[in-house]
Amino acid sequence: MTISRRQLLLTTPALLSACAAMPPTPPAGLAAGEQRAWELEGQRFWIWLPREYSQRTEAWPLVVFLHGSGERGTDLEKVKVHGPPKLVAAGAAWPAILVSPQLEDGLRWDPERLHRLLGALKARLNIDAQRCTGTGLSLGGFGVWHWATAYPRDLAAIAPVCGFGDPAKVAAMRSVPVRAYHGDQDQAVPLAPHVACVEALRAAGGKASLTIYPGVGHDSWTPAYNDPELLPWLLSQRQT
């Protein structure tokens, strides 16, 4: 049977539409519903794909978690000792893609490197570019503040825990909402600079809240990541 050029033109859009509607397949080495090690842009990290990743076509929100100074090195298991990757390892089913990179010994979180990683993730995964958020503790708290300041279009919101940014620069990220946490007895990372950072962002027209835990030292990440409102808040944020 001969197919005319007109018939081919009429059927091609339908075929393309059917292909576009197919749910994505996880890249090689990854599996939906499992937290696995992966590497992109020379960066090693844990990645969790929601269990329904291969069952729906809608793009997924992304949460990037930045660990503290004690988890640096080459043993990726250390990244699971606190925060979201710990919760997922314990059985929590996050309704978002979760990426938890690891820093090498002696390094600090570099906004340029995080920006490149985000771009590589977007190119390979079914990510909603308007719903990418960041959170981190201690050194990672500093990391998300500085990332949002340097690349405010990367992130829809951040949730820094016991880490602060530069009050003189946060006006650049006034479009990025902040939900911050800190203990008032923190001797490792003082509370006052975090307060100053939040106030500077508000003064610049941004939206920011700071939850202060009375009597808590440098472990505000335990109550922060057990806050039942944190994950829903992150997932509700969208760039405008």
Q: What is the pLDDT of residue 21?
A: 61
Q: What is the pLDDT of residue 23?
A: 77
> 22 lies in a domain?
no
The Cα–Cα gap between 83 and 64 comes to: 11
Both tokens of 100, joined, read 């938890």
> 116 lies in a domain?
yes
Residues 177 and 144: beta-carbon distance below 8 Å? no
What's the angle, vertex CA 89, arms to CA 85 and CA 39, rounded to 5?
55
Q: What is the pLDDT of residue 110?
A: 98
pLDDT by residue (tens digit) across 2-28?
Answer: 444 444 444 444 444 444 567 789 999
> 209 lies in a domain?
yes
Q: Which segments of the chain does DSSP mark as H helices, in order?
A: 5-20, 83-89, 111-124, 139-150, 191-203, 221-224, 230-236
> 12 lies in a domain?
no
End-to-end CA distance of the chain: 52
pLDDT by residue (tens digit) across 188-212?
Answer: 999 999 999 999 999 999 999 999 9
The Cα–Cα gap between 36 and 48 comes to: 7
Q: Which residues of 111-148 are buried (b: 16+ CB within 10 A; e: fewer)?
A: bebbbebbeebbeebbbbeebbbbbbbbbbbbbbbbbb
Q: What is the pLDDT of residue 240?
A: 79
> 155 lies in a domain?
yes
- Residue stretches of the chain with pLDDT short of 50: 1-19
> 197 lies in a domain?
yes
Q: Which domain holds residue 175?
A: 32-236
> 17 lies in a domain?
no
Whole-angstrom Cα Rg for the chain: 20
Q: How many beta carbons lie within 10 A of that of residue 28, not counting itself? A: 6
What's the angle, vertex CA 140, arms to CA 205 and CA 64, rounded to 5?
80
Q: CATH number of the domain that 46 lies in?
A: 3.40.50.1820
User: By C-alpha distance, which of 127, 35, 18 is closest to 79?
Assistant: 35
User: By C-alpha distance, which of 196, 139, 141, 207 is closest to 173?
Assistant: 207
Q: How many domains does the chain have?
A: 1
